[in-house]
Chains A and B, each alone.
Chain A
Amino acid sequence: MIKLIEKLGRTIIAFSEGLGSILILFLLTVKQIALPPFEVRNTFKQMLEIGIKSLPVVIVTAIFTGMVFALQTYTGFKRFGAEALVGTVVALSMTRELGPVLTGLIVAGRAGAAMAAELGTMKVTEQIDALETLATNPVKYLIVPRFLSGLVMLPALSVCADIIGILGGYIVTVGLFGASSVVYWKRTWDFLEIDDIYNGLIKACFFGASIAMISCYKGFYTSGGAEGVGKATTGAVVLSSMTILISDYFLSSLLFK
């Protein structure tokens, strides 16, 4: 029993330490964003890496999610004659939930893993120390561009996911089930409020920033060679995904009143 409590205590301490270290790294990052010189070229490179290169996966995920959503709700809603509301359901769930969350999970798996692996390898091969010896602040050079790219590109990808998901729903509802195109669009726009999109994007910004901070933190504090890099990468993806799913509930309860 005592051992169990000890173990629990240790886990809590380790968790708090980790959280504290990420917060400190976050504050250092914010400080470095404000100080010149600005990492314009590196930031664009990371935006390409995180944003543009994730786009194909986001498109495929969003279109099939929209489609399966329409498929399920259409057949379900038909039982009580509410199939006209499919457009509303798809639009609300994509903008409020699925757009940001699915994009977040994809970016965590794709770009988050890549960030942790790249920074982790740089750490264990002393490339991060080499940056320091060449009078270059590694937080500024490595983390700031990734953080900014996450912050900007996740909402951008999320907007794409919203639009494409709604189109996916349209394809199934109108194309497959032969429902009226006018009704689909009318029901979509009638009940969709600007706040749905806006709050969804706030969540996306938070997810983007969290993925970048967690993945960079995991990479930056890697130790122990190839095995350590593997652990850092897994840790980054798991922790980012958990953060997205858990914070999603609390952000939603705060934002959507």
Chain B
Amino acid sequence: MIKLIGLHKSFGDNHVLKGLDIEVKKGESRVIIGGSGSGKSVILKHIIGILKPDEGDVIIDGINLKNLKENELYEIRKKFGMLFQMAALFDSMNVWENVGFALQRHKKNKPGEIRDIAIEKLKMVGLVGVENLMPSELSGGMKKRVGLARAIAHEPEILLYDEPTTGLDPIMADAINDLIIEMRERLSVTSVAITHDMNSAYKIADKISMLYDGRIIETGTPEEIKNTANPVVKQFITGSATGPIKIEGVNHERTLNRA
């Protein structure tokens, strides 16, 4: 179970999270939606302990990350797998070395087995025969798949997805959505995804939470979110430029007049 309580985080003068609360149950697939630069990635980085909150608590399976020593924090990270927005593959290693990285680091398997496990995980994400390529030789969609294979290689209990469909064409995006659903069904993991792609959110979420102005302003099933009464959420999910959400640096008078 993932629990964030009263999270505050600032970067310089920019107060990104302002007392954020969220609770994700075991086995649940939660999607957090919100505008660009609203702090969605910051939430994921708090969950996995890369960022430390200025105030508030992050509790993973009953353990408060605040109380952990450095080596205990690294130990708890073995429960996690994370897919990055641009995949973040190690460009000095080939595909199977990327996928097998955690296995090789934590020495749970014999060196000879790692390549086979990596190939098997690549197969799970629909990639065959790419294990010896370098990341620079892959397309964007393939990189994401390799990133996903790397995230699941050490059989984590929690998967975090940072904008899994951003930058992909609609068909590839849908294929990634299907993969995310498949991962949840096959590996029965808890997952938290952040996105501003509503098609993806409706498809992969058990519950959707909307992040706005540093807080979660609404949480509900995809159906509940679609029929929301909250004007902010409504504006976001319909993708309208007019409404209570202000777009930074844009002259609203003009936008409104033209609308």
Contacts and interface: CB of A to CB of B under 8 A. Distances in A.
A133 B44 CA distance: 11
Nearest to A126: B88
Contacts of B50: 129, 132-133
A181 interface: no
A136 B252 CA distance: 46
**What range describes how many residues of B lie at the interface?**
20 to 34
Contacts of A129: 45, 50, 84, 88
Contacts of B80: 133
A127 B91 contact: yes
B84 A134 contact: no
Contact of B74 (A127, A130, A137): A137
A197 to B, nearest CB: 36
Contact of A130 (B75, B90, B106, B154): B90
A137 B45 CA distance: 15
A126 B84 CA distance: 8
A103 to B, nearest CB: 26
A125 B86 contact: yes
Contacts of A130: 82, 84, 88-90
B85 A126 contact: yes
- Highest count of chain B CB atoms <10 Å: which of A130, A132, A134: A134
Contacts of B102: 134-136
Contacts of B86: 125-126
Main secondary structure of the interface of A (DSSP, over half): helix
B184 interface: no
Contacts, number: 54
A136 B82 CA distance: 13
Interface residues of A, number: 14
Interface in A132-181: 132-137
A136 B105 contact: yes
Given A127-B90, A127-B91, A132 B85 contact: no
A15 B105 CA distance: 37
Contacts of A127: 88-91
Contacts of A125: 86, 88, 91
Contacts of A118: 92
Interface string B147-172: 00011001000001000000000000
- Highest count of chain B CB atoms <10 Å: which of A125, A133, A137: A133
B88 A132 contact: no
Given A125-B88, A127-B91, A133 B74 contact: no
Contacts of B150: 134
A135 B106 contact: yes
A127 B102 CA distance: 14
Contacts of A132: 48-50, 77
Contacts of A135: 74-75, 77-78, 102, 105-106
Nearest to A37: B107
B101 A133 contact: no
Contacts of A136: 74, 101-102, 105
A106 B105 CA distance: 33
B81 interface: yes
Contacts of B70: 137
Interface string B44-71: 0100111000000000000000000010
Contact of A133 (B75, B82, B90, B92): B82
Contacts of B88: 125-127, 129-130
A133 B105 contact: no
Contacts of B82: 130, 133
Contacts of B74: 135-137
Contacts of A134: 77, 101-102, 105, 150, 154
Nearest to A128: B88
Interface in A205-256: none
Contacts of B45: 129
Interface of B: 45, 48-50, 70, 74-75, 77-78, 80-82, 84-86, 88-92, 101-102, 105-106, 150-151, 154, 160
Which 5 residue pairs across A and B have the least CB separation, nearest first?
A126-B88, A130-B88, A133-B82, A135-B77, A134-B102
Interface of A: 118, 121-122, 125-127, 129-130, 132-137
7 contacts: A125-B88, A125-B91, A126-B84, A127-B90, A132-B49, A134-B105, A135-B77
Given A118-B92, A130-B84, A132-B77, 10 more contacts: A122-B90, A132-B48, A133-B81, A133-B82, A133-B160, A134-B77, A134-B105, A134-B150, A135-B78, A136-B101
